[in-house]
């Protein structure tokens, strides 16, 4: 296991930069008991890497760990080979705890290579084999040599921390074992990578035509709708965009150090953020024609989108919304609904990094609107005191909304429609209006005959 300390003291993190020397050494908050309850480090690592559709992903651990499978998240792929949708696990048992699980892991890799012939195998370390001392790195090295195929160890036992830390560990595995191991067939001056874009509900496909129209080529998307070989060539990009994610910032920073690829953080949620992302990409590439082309495209797309949004904004202006979603979405979604004229009365800060919190505060201007513990009781309290019109949250919060009779829209990874780019902005507006106008809420609020 790598020294975890460095993941908590990321030098590229804006918050860390602003700290004094002593505080810098301490870094972000270390995991405390319970911090893995919203998803453990293994879960986070797998979330990040599973969209690499043509690789085999073997979970080295008891069968229950493999319950975190692809269909928990709506990450979509156009790959004809979809090994990521199959659950591979070494299914460790009590006997393996006594005798060790290394041999079983080696045999599992062998079987996967022989049966499926993938371009690479990812092996995830989980709590039990980590505690009994299975050396997955050594097994992966041996298997890689024996079967002549990349076998990537992902050292992510759940007990080391939260889902967010797991994202970072996945980025670390990509940097150490994958990126830079292959050369692309050809390169262009407009090659960019997207880091931390997982193509949830097809969101990558919403922005891809836009990026292509502007003149960019996506060399590698890490990791939405990706193939192993794309990611192996990512070191040849001219710019890295860290999409809505502090989690892969360490990867961007290290790629800049090693390969000289400049990076910026951006988001495709909302009109302004989408335009800023295109603009920053062009500016970092520094091609005059490209910059002009991008500005023209932004002008056309913004005008088009704003025109189409008018009827929705009329209906949504002033409506109060409460947001309970994880990580980066908690701020990027704030910006998005504010552009629709809605008032955000609170947003969850539970799974957000310090950087995410800083951005939320910038947008909301009131620390009280950052909810550190969005438990159902707290959500109900805010819904009642603020007279909330809408709850934007993940599936787990829907019952709170149903009980209160408050319109609810699922914006988490299980969502059916993507909300990225200009096109996604329209879809979000449409979905919010549909949700608010759904007659079911009035029926829900009606008293039963025996209560009247």
Q: Which residues bind ligand SF4 (CB under 6 A)?
A: 36, 40, 42-43, 61, 65, 126-127, 157-159
The least CB distance from residue 350 to ligand SF4, in Å, is 18
Select 35 or 280, whichever has its Cβ closest to ligand SF4.
35
**Burial status of residue 271 (CB atoms within 10 A of its CB: 0-12, 13-18, 19 or more):** buried
The least CB distance from residue 231 to ligand SF4, in Å, is 23
d(CA 60, CA 401): 38
Select 64 or 300, whichever has its Cβ closest to ligand SF4.
64
Residues whose CB is less than 8 angstroms from the CB of residue 41 and which lie 6 or more positions away in sequence, other chains included: 156, 157, 158, 159, 160, 161, 162, 163, 165, 166, 169
d(CA 64, CA 92): 10
Select 43 or 404, whichever has its Cβ closest to ligand SF4.
43
First-last CA distance in the chain: 63
Select 98 or 416, whichever has its Cβ closest to ligand SF4.
98
**Burial status of residue 440 (CB atoms within 10 A of its CB: 0-12, 13-18, 19 or more):** exposed
Select 73 or 76, whichever has its Cβ closest to ligand SF4.
73
The least CB distance from residue 331 to ligand SF4, in Å, is 27
The least CB distance from residue 137 to ligand SF4, in Å, is 17
- The residue whose Cβ lies closest to ligand SF4 is 158
Select 61 or 424, whichever has its Cβ closest to ligand SF4.
61
d(CA 360, CA 352): 10
Tokens in use for 144?
């890689």
Residues whose CB is less than 8 angstroms from the CB of residue 397 and which lie 6 or more positions away in sequence, other chains included: 324, 374, 376, 379, 391, 408
Select 62 or 407, whichever has its Cβ closest to ligand SF4.
62
Cα atoms found within 13 Å of the Cα of residue 386, Cβ hemisphere only:
23
The least CB distance from residue 127 to ligand SF4, in Å, is 3
Distance of CA 76 to the CA centre of its chain: 13
The least CB distance from residue 129 to ligand SF4, in Å, is 9
The least CB distance from residue 60 to ligand SF4, in Å, is 10
């Amino acid at each position: 296991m790598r020294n975890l300390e460095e993941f908590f003291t990321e030098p590229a993190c804006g918050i860390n930069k602003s700290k004094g020397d002593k505080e810098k050494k301490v870094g972000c908050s270390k995991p405390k008991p319970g911090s893995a309850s919203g998803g453990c480090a293994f879960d986070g690592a797998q979330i990040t890497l599973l969209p690499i559709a043509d690789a085999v992903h073997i979970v080295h651990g008891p069968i229950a760990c493999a319950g975190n499978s692809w269909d928990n998240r709506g990450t979509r792929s156009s790959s004809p080979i979809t090994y990521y949708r199959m659950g591979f696990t070494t299914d460790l048992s009590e006997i393996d705890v006594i005798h060790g699980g290394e041999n079983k892991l080696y045999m599992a890799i062998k079987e996967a290579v022989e049966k499926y012939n993938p371009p690479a195998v990812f092996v995830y370390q989980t709590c039990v084999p980590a505690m009994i001392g299975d050396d997955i790195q050594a097994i992966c090295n041996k298997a890689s040599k024996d079967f002549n195929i990349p076998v990537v160890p992902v050292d992510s036992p759940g007990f080391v921390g939260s889902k967010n830390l797991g994202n970072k560990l996945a980025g670390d595995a990509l940097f150490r074992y994958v990126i830079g191991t292959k050369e692309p067939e050809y390169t262009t001056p407009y090659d960019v990578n997207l880091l931390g874009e997982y193509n949830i509900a097809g969101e990558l496909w919403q922005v891809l035509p836009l990026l292509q129209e502007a003149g960019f080529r996506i060399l590698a998307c890490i990791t939405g709708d990706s193939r192993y070989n794309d990611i192996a060539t990512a070191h040849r990009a001219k710019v890295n965009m860290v999409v809505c994610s502090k989690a892969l910032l360490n990867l961007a920073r290290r790629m800049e150090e090693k390969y000289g690829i400049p990076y910026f953080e951006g988001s495709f949620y909302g009109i302004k953020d989408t335009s800023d992302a295109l603009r920053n990409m062009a500016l970092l590439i520094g091609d005059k024609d490209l910059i002009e082309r991008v500005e023209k495209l932004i002008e056309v797309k913004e005008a088009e989108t704003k025109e189409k949004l008018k009827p929705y904004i009329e209906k949504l202006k002033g409506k109060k919304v409460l947001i309970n979603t994880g990580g980066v979405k908690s701020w990027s979604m704030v910006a998005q609904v504010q552009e629709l004229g809605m008032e955000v009365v609170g947003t969850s800060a539970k799974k957000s990094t310090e950087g995410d919190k800083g951005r939320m505060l910038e947008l909301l201007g009131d620390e009280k609107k950052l909810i550190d513990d969005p438990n159902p009781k707290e959500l109900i309290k805010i819904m009642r005191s603020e007279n909330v019109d809408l709850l934007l949250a993940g599936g787990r919060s829907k019952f709170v909304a149903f009980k209160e009779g408050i319109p609810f829209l699922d914006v988490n990874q299980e969502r059916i429609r993507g909300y990225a780019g200009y096109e996604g902005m329209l879809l979000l507006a449409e979905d919010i209006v549909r949700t608010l106008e759904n007659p079911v809420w009035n029926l829900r609020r009606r008293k039963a005959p025996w209560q009247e």
